[in-house]
Structure 1
């Protein structure tokens, strides 16, 4: 192998490491925003995630953020409109990739915290089982978010 080829391979490896780090940092920022009670923080994260147009699951993350945001706005009609918009995005991604546990975790968090009047709680047991079954295979930042959330979750209590 030539020195030039080895340099190229090293550069690719460094690039992949950087991409993985950015992804981990981005997911950590996402989960921090999702836990926030600030519409401004959530809106900033929606803009950030929307910039990841190549990410297949970006609409799921945007949808979850929008559904969280709906709980923070004060105008009832706007609450419902934002919630429905986010719901449509999250559910379409889950329908397209039903075995992805991270999307199920997003839905689980929303369903456990959505007002009962919305009737959005039909998949809690199914999503909880999938998250538990696939926990070990999820990215570390997602695992950490699940651990944190499980402390206040009824369906994930006793996870760890």
Structure 2
């Protein structure tokens, strides 16, 4: 019985991990083009999980959908629902560095007129202060994000080694 339980746990974690890797990879390409954004949105919509990080990527996909939608009157709704979801996830998981990274990337890239940029300094500080506690895969992902970040200084980028 224990072997069977261990097998199912390992299988669940494997698929959970591959879902997360697929989202990370797709999210990294989402801002490069409209096609990249659409691919990320499609990838996120296919995921169903109670994992807060996967839900965070789904919230980011909602926000990004405002960028690619052709229906201008729906843009505000996409942003609002995505922001509400993301903020709720972060309030429930204050110490999750990846959720903070998602929020930082959204706030860096969303137009200033939207007014969703108040957590940039806080999230950068949280990421830098907690970086060393993360696993190797997440450290690599954070470093890649930092290198292309618009708001991280050279000193902040260098601290992520």
CA distance in 2, matches of 1:94, 1:141: 21
CA distance in 2, matches of 1:132, 1:23: 26
2:120 pairs, out of 120, 124, 127, with 124
CA contact (8 A) 1:102 1:138 kept: no
**Which protein has the bigger helix share?**
2
The structure with higher relative contact order (CA 8 Å, sep 6+) is: 1
CA distance in 1, matches of 2:135, 2:113: 33
Query: Secondary structure, in 3 states, of the residue corresponding to 2:68?
Result: coil
Kindly state the Cα deviation for residue 90 of structure 1 after the two structures are TM-superposed. Answer: 0.2
Give CA deviations for 1:103-127 in whole Å, capped at 9, x if unaligned.
1111001011111111111111110
Query: Secondary structure, in 3 states, of the residue corresponding to 1:122?
Result: coil
- Superposed, 1:1-160 pairs within 5 Å as 8-34=1-27, 35-36=29-30, 37=33, 38=35, 39-49=37-47, 51-52=48-49, 54-153=50-149, 154-155=151-152, 157-158=157-158, 159-160=160-161
Query: Secondary structure, in 3 states, of the residue corresponding to 1:99?
Result: coil
Number of residues of Structure 1 aligned to a counterpart in Structure 2:
151
Query: Secondary structure, in 3 states, of the residue corresponding to 2:83?
Result: helix
CA contact (8 A) 1:67 1:83 kept: yes
CA distance in 1, matches of 2:138, 2:76: 28
Query: Secondary structure, in 3 states, of the residue corresponding to 1:120?
Result: coil
Give ranges in structure 1 of 5+ residues lacking alignment.
1-7
Tell me which moved more, 66-75 or 114-123. Answer: 66-75
Kindly state the Cα deviation for residue 58 of structure 1 after the two structures are TM-superposed. Answer: 4.2
Give CA deviations for 1:3-61 in whole Å, capped at 9, x if unaligned.
xxxxx333333333322221221111111222334354233223222x21x33454322
Give the superposed CA RMSD: 2.2
